[in-house]
Amino acid sequence: MTSKPTDMPIRPARADDLIWYAAYGSNMHAARFKFYVQGGTPPGSRRTYPGCRDRRLPRRTLPVMMPGGIYFALESPAWTGGMAMYDPDLPDEAAARAYLISRTQFSDLAAQEMYKAPGVDIEVLDDVVAHGRVRLGDGRYETLVYAGDLDGSPLITFTAPWSSADVALNPPVAPYLAMLASGLRESHRWDVEQITAYLGKRPGVAGIWAPADLEDLVKAAL
């Protein structure tokens, strides 16, 4: 069953807190997310990840639906084509996979998403919970967004500082979409019809990818 995060009473984050990282892109696929944790080069990727200081795998994982929506824009250095980004203000729901990880792991994961070297703990996670959003930089994954509480721990993801209306859309390439389709199947247990409908409505895919071509891609990915 898909879980929905609820609002969480504001409290400071502690050094020993566990955090739910909400993955809405290719990291919905657990095997790929493992490279962020333990390092290496994912199949089909152009990038090698250094991994986290704490290389333990997530304690738990859950499918979640976050308020807002996913769109595709810019150019992915790992995949080419548009990359998935989260806009919490879109009138929609975003399918994601939540991984329960340590605060240190979350900090190192964020660093890798920002193309920085891991190794420094983020000191503003309490501000993310308190204010809902904290901008760490101008990059496309340098804004942290708090999406509610899940089983007593905050659910946080990364996205761009702008909204979907402020950037030119760019369609994703087939291998990237196939990875997302595989991740949706793995995490949410959706079928071909559900995955095709979900991806087909995303800005950057809608009106660009022909529905029949998208359905064929999803079938091949599963």
- 81 and 123 both lie in a single domain: yes
User: CA geometry: angle at 10 spanning 137 and 141, to 5°?
Assistant: 20
Confidence of residue 16 (pLDDT cuts 50, 70, 90): low
pLDDT of 96 over the 80 cut: yes
Write down the pLDDT at residue 3: 54
DSSP E strands, the chain: 18-23, 61-67, 69-73, 83-87, 93-102, 133-135, 143-150, 153-159
- 83 and 179 both lie in a single domain: no
pLDDT tens, residue by residue, 34-90? 999 999 988 777 788 999 999 999 999 999 999 999 999 999 887 889 999 999 999
Specify if 79 maps to a domain.
yes
- 184 and 74 both lie in a single domain: no
Beta strand pairing call for 61-67 and 133-135: unpaired
The order of strands in the sheet holding 61-67 is 61-67, 93-102, 18-23, 153-159, 143-150, 133-135
pLDDT tens, residue by residue, 124-143? 888 898 899 999 888 888 99
pLDDT tens, residue by residue, 162-192? 999 999 999 999 999 999 999 999 999 999 9
Specify if 29 maps to a domain.
yes
- 159 and 201 both lie in a single domain: no
Q: By residue range, what is the domain housing residue 212?
A: 174-221
Last residue of a domain, one of 132, 147, 166: 166
Confidence of residue 5 (pLDDT cuts 50, 70, 90): low
- 210 and 151 both lie in a single domain: no
- 132 and 42 both lie in a single domain: yes
Q: How many Cβ atoms are within 10 Å of 2's Cβ, its own excluded?
A: 14
Write down the pLDDT at residue 2: 52
Q: What is the distance between the alpha carbons of residues 140 and 206, in angstroms, rounded to a whole number?
A: 21
| pTM for the predicted model, two decimal places | 0.89
Of 160, 166, 162, the residue nearest 76 (C-alpha): 160
Specify if 100 maps to a domain.
yes
Write down the pLDDT at residue 117: 87
Specify if 4 maps to a domain.
no
Burial of 186 (0-12, 13-18, 19+ CB in 10 A): middle
- 162 and 203 both lie in a single domain: no
Last residue of a domain, one of 166, 194, 212: 166
Number of structural domains the chain divides into: 2
- 75 and 123 both lie in a single domain: yes
Contact 97, 187 (CB under 8 A): yes
- 187 and 157 both lie in a single domain: no
Q: What is the distance between the alpha carbons of residues 84 and 40, in angstroms, rounded to a whole number?
A: 22
Last residue of a domain, one of 166, 189, 204: 166
Contact 140, 160 (CB under 8 A): yes
- 90 and 107 both lie in a single domain: yes
- 112 and 191 both lie in a single domain: no
- 153 and 194 both lie in a single domain: no
Write down the pLDDT at residue 8: 35
Specify if 197 maps to a domain.
yes
pLDDT tens, residue by residue, 148-161? 999 999 999 999 99
Specify if 6 maps to a domain.
no
Specify if 125 maps to a domain.
yes
For 30, the enclosing helix (H) or strand (E) is: helix 30-38
